[in-house]
Amino acid sequence: MFSSTLSAPASIATGLITQLGRGSAWPCLAILAAAGLLFAVASTVRLVMATIRRYERGRSTRIMQMRNPHCHVQRLANGQWLLIDKDTGTVYIPPRLSHPPINEWI
């Protein structure tokens, strides 16, 4: 009785596989699977890189905040720092360095 219960789905699966194997369905399925896998890998790599980039931006902001504890620190779009004194509100933009600071090399 148990073997007859399993034989019905097995025969249906076998028939389905033979029908798919005759036409050009397997190459299409393989291409779709490969494209899906590549998309998933690319999305994962992009997410990891964005997370690392966000961490590094936060790290450099924290380092600048430690160097200037009396200032609000903000990174401008051009890469320079904007320092605003917490007490007086004076705005200071330090001059650009010809090379990145040593802590940003690491």
Give residue-wise pLDDT tens across range 21-48: 566 667 777 788 888 999 999 999 999 9
Provide the 10 A C-beta neighbour count for residue 83. 20
pLDDT band at 16 (very low <50, low <70, confident <90, very high): low
In percent, how much of the chain has pLDDT > 90? 20
Residue 10 has pLDDT above 80, yes or no: no
Higher pLDDT among residues 42 and 18, named by residue: 42
Residue 79 has pLDDT above 90, yes or no: no
Give the span between the Cα atoms of 90 and 70, in whole angstroms.
11
pLDDT, average across residues 61-67: 88
Q: Which residues of 55-69 are buried (b: 16+ CB within 10 A; e: fewer)?
A: eeeeebeeebeeebe
